[in-house]
Structure 1
Amino acid sequence: MTRRNSTPAAGGTLTPGQEALWLVQHLDPQGAAYNVTAALDLLFTVDATVLEQAAGAAVTGHALLGSLFAQGDDGRIRRTPAPTPFALERYEPGLAGEELRAFALRLSRRPFRPAHERPVRIALIRPRTGPDVLLATAHHIAADNISQLLLCREILSRYAALRAGRPYTARDTGAAFEDFAQVQRAYLASSRAERARAYWARELGGVTAHLQLPTDLPRPALWRQAGAEVRVDLPAGLVADLDAAAAERNVTAFALLLSVFAVLLHRASGQREFLVGYPVSQRQGARWRDAMGYFVNTLPLRARVDPGDSFEAVLRRTSLRLWQGLLHRDYPFALLAGLTGLPRDPSRPGPVQVLFVLNEPGGADPIAGALTPGAVVEHAGLRVAEFALPQQHGQFELTLQLTRHAAGFQAVLKYHTSLFTAGAAGALAEEYVRLLRAAVAGTLVPAASPAPA
């Protein structure tokens, strides 16, 4: 099979989502909130020269990863081929354990300059003891989390083929991202997009107040990307009860978990109505399943918790609005800001200040299994495991990310360090777990007195 997205197209135009990401990086050039990282322990003896050949072939074979993103004289942002060849970064820091992790984290958080360098870096880190680490970092403008898994998988496949002295057979990745961009441009000119815009205008037009979360620190006048995270594990028993409770109420686990998050925000802010963002994949169907690119859109949920509401009422309202929003999921988030009744505030990330993410295991990607804590997987005869690194901090004021694995859920609350302390973020995360237990047990009263945040 042949890959269909192997040749960069000169002068390629961007999607609205990519243009928004470019602008964010342009306005905050030292920010790294939109760096997307995949890191693996390589549980085999690594030939660095062969790995560089494999990584170079993988990177240069994808148009987006071999591109610069620059603004032309006419003000439009275009994609052009990068003039410099790919080079594997090699490090031997003489570190191990948490010092090694901190070193890798610093590497992953180096800002990208999309107009001057390709939007991807591949590094091989050789520690003092333990397995070598493969660190793949890309800017979100060219890759999403699935893209990073695809890239790591291809690097390993190419490495195994080179070591065995056999030709590498490229997967058919389907349509190229440029095809997706063309499809999106055609969509925006269609009546379907007009209907979607009308829906979002009705849904968002009545939102007139920003989410006013109590902060531990004075809000800076200008929003910058800066963040950290706290983690809480949800035991398998609670997850089983959650699934049963969602099925009994005829809603998805996603809707129930998001409804609890809305209750948490309502209690913290005292507000009845506010926006919560949630990401959706635009890889519908097999056409884009294995393509490299930015296939993510953020949808805004108009969350509402009225005085006297039962949790069942909040859940039904949330579930309905989720389904209605998903019917219009293709309308770009970058074009929604002007549809709200909110004034522009440079001290906030935009009309959506908080994000909710649920990562469910899915698909047959062998590398995805390596990102489960403690798991070891084999691909192309090579054994790899997760090298856990926090990432994508500072995009929003708060991001609650739940990831399901065999032992339960891991809850990660990402918080903006200019607004919240680690102690306050930890208290919010623990309160979310407490509220979730109550919701599953059927005892949650949404409008109860707020717990200290």
Structure 2
Amino acid sequence: MHTVALNHLSNAERERLLMLARSRLTRQVATASSIQPADRSQPLPLSWAQQRLWFLDQLDPTAGSAYHMPLALRLSGQLDRAALQATLNRVVDRHESLRTRFVSVAGTPRQVIAPVGTEVAMREEDLSALDAAQQALVVAERSASEAGDRFDLSTGPLIRGRLLRLAEDEHVLMVTQHHIVSDGWSIGVMVKEFAALYAAFAQGQPDPLPALTIQYPDYAAWQRQWLQGEVRQAQLDYWRHTLSGAPTLLDMPTDRPRPAVQRYTGDVVERRLALPLVEGIRALSSRHGTTLFMTALATWAAVLSRLSGQKDLVVGSPVANRQRTEVEPLVGFFVNTLALRVRMEDDPDVATLLARVKATTLAAYAHQDLPFEQVVEVLQPERSLAHSPVFQVMLSMNNTPGGGPMRLPGLALSNVETGTPAAKFDLALSLSESPDSLVASLVYATDLFDRPTIERMLDGWEMLVAGMVADDTQRVSRVPLLSPLARKRVLGFSAPVASALPVDLVHAGFEAQAAQRPHAIAVSFEDQQLS
């Protein structure tokens, strides 16, 4: 009876049922298998995410440096130096990931954890004798140095600090970690714990934080045991099917040819969307049952498709990958990357594209446990040092928990810019939402793009977003990327101009010019010229 019913389903309906069954199997196994403390007398394996970064660091140290996580805070007020050091030490004591280094045993990387009581090295520098302009220069130089100085994964430590004294009541604290031991969610955990511990220690009180029941190495060992057999195969099958035949390179129009080896040098352009447009995006999402991220993915993919001419493309997106409550309070590298395929060969309207992106995103979330590197292995794309595999463009939402504002005794805290970001991809658009705004930050590879090109790209994206908000029944290919003024500027006229030649076709115009000036230079390249 069930077989007859399934045979009457379309391929798409059958695939949806299979996907639902696989995701339920994944959740059932995950629920039945609890994370237990790993045997510390045995070699501790890396998580799949850690192993990916370890191999990348071995292959290309420059790539490893692109995965640093710098944080800089201005501390205004009376700083309790002893409480600050004690706070940092306690955070590192609480989280084994921050005391971990990575060594190779017979060619296999293993985690080695330093004992509790390892003090965080804090380099200090007194800049109080300098004027404000000189201090700003030194702070910028030290920030760039902290963000770029390489970590040695085999010796550690993989967290370091620097304290700059600007005045009696003014300091800048810099803390840098390697991504292999931390992620964006972890920053929120550390900020929350830092605030609670400093407040307690500055007032002579004991540690107020509850003990952790498990540590990151326990999760890594559990992940290795759980992600195998039917669970792993179901996820492999999904990604193999979903990404089969997808293009492995998004061929965007760049200002310069792609270098043979990716250098990870980048810059960023920010854009704050006006409140009426933000409200329009929210209303559009509400009408179609999409999240802000899903709507953003539809708009971003539409712009990339229009600029590249490709109707089938893959966009990467990070996910926190903390689906179990016991790992939420941990510092560690949990984040995974999803390859989201968006197809527009049929020239969909806005509503159809939103529905398609919603289905794609939900299915990917249901199969997010498989590490991206294993997705790459099953797809076997042609590897290149010039670009990342599977996708070269990212989209992310900055919505990880931040622990709220820090309120420390006698101190006011504010963020300090940490310098130019590394460009792990050609383009990486991140969105930060607040009740009254939406800020888009587009990090780009400076080897490929000039800043004016990126500014025009954001102009086009903003114009397309406004067009989709205004009319969700139109074809995506017809949504304008240029304002009327920009269109006139690009086309180079504001009123019809009489042609200098009485011809209508390009080749005919070329022939007419050649007949009039046969000896004029037509083409030049380096030291060669053709008439």
- TM-score normalized by structure 1? 0.88
**Shift in alpha-carbon separation, 1:402–1:419, aligned structure 2, 3 A:** same
Could you tell me which residue of structure 2 aligns to residue 24 of structure 1? 56
CA shift, 1:182, in A, is 2.3
Could you tell me which residue of structure 2 aligns to residue 374 of structure 1? none
For residues 124 and 442 of structure 2, what CA distance do their matches in structure 1 show?
32
Gapped regions of structure 2 (runs ≥ 5): 1-35, 483-489, 491-531
Could you tell me which residue of structure 2 aligns to residue 267 of structure 1? 306
Aligned match for 2:207, one of 138, 161, 168: 168
Higher relative helix content:
2
For residues 143 and 308 of structure 2, what CA distance do their matches in structure 1 show?
36
**Shift in alpha-carbon separation, 1:363–1:138, aligned structure 2, 3 A:** closer
Q: Cα deviations across residues 99-152 of structure 1 (Å, max 9, x unaligned)?
A: 634532332232222112211112222236973122221111000112123223
Could you tell me which residue of structure 1 aligns to residue 68 of structure 2? 35
2:471 partner amino acid: G
Aligned match for 2:375, one of 329, 336, 361: 336
For residues 146 and 292 of structure 1, what CA distance do their matches in structure 2 show?
8
1:271-350 equivalences under 5 Å are: 271-340=310-379, 342-350=381-389
1:24-423 equivalences under 5 Å are: 24-31=56-63, 32-72=65-105, 74-82=106-114, 85-93=119-127, 94=130, 95-97=134-136, 100-127=139-166, 131-340=170-379, 342-360=381-399, 363=401, 365-366=403-404, 369=405, 377-379=406-408, 382-389=411-418, 393-423=422-452
**Shift in alpha-carbon separation, 1:170–1:386, aligned structure 2, 3 A:** same
- The secondary structure found in structure 2 opposite 1:220 is coil
Q: Which has the higher contact order (CA 8 A, sep 6+)?
A: 1
For residues 265 and 26 of structure 1, what CA distance do their matches in structure 2 show?
33
Contact persistence 1:307–1:447 (CA under 8 A): no
Aligned match for 2:469, one of 440, 444, 449: 440
Gapped regions of structure 1 (runs ≥ 5): 370-376
CA shift, 1:445, in A, is 4.2
CA shift, 1:220, in A, is 1.0
CA shift, 1:161, in A, is 2.4
Contact persistence 2:182–2:333 (CA under 8 A): yes
CA shift, 1:171, in A, is 2.8
For residues 16 and 390 of structure 1, what CA distance do their matches in structure 2 show?
30
* 26-35 vs 399-408, which moves further: 26-35
Could you tell me which residue of structure 1 aligns to residue 44 of structure 2? 12
For residues 389 and 438 of structure 1, what CA distance do their matches in structure 2 show?
35
RMSD of aligned C-alpha atoms?
2.7
- The secondary structure found in structure 1 opposite 2:322 is coil
1:306 partner amino acid: E
- The secondary structure found in structure 2 opposite 1:415 is strand
For residues 9 and 162 of structure 1, what CA distance do their matches in structure 2 show?
34
**Shift in alpha-carbon separation, 1:391–1:357, aligned structure 2, 3 A:** farther
**Shift in alpha-carbon separation, 1:240–1:379, aligned structure 2, 3 A:** farther
- TM-score normalized by structure 2? 0.76
- The secondary structure found in structure 2 opposite 1:262 is helix
CA shift, 1:406, in A, is 4.0
CA shift, 1:278, in A, is 0.8
Q: Cα deviations across residues 150-193 of structure 1 (Å, max 9, x unaligned)?
A: 22333343333222122112334443112221231122213122
Structure having the higher Rg: 2
1:322 partner amino acid: T
- The secondary structure found in structure 2 opposite 1:232 is strand
1:189 partner amino acid: Q
Contact persistence 2:70–2:147 (CA under 8 A): yes
Could you tell me which residue of structure 1 aligns to residue 527 of structure 2? none
CA shift, 1:403, in A, is 0.6
- The secondary structure found in structure 1 opposite 2:315 is strand
CA shift, 1:339, in A, is 2.9
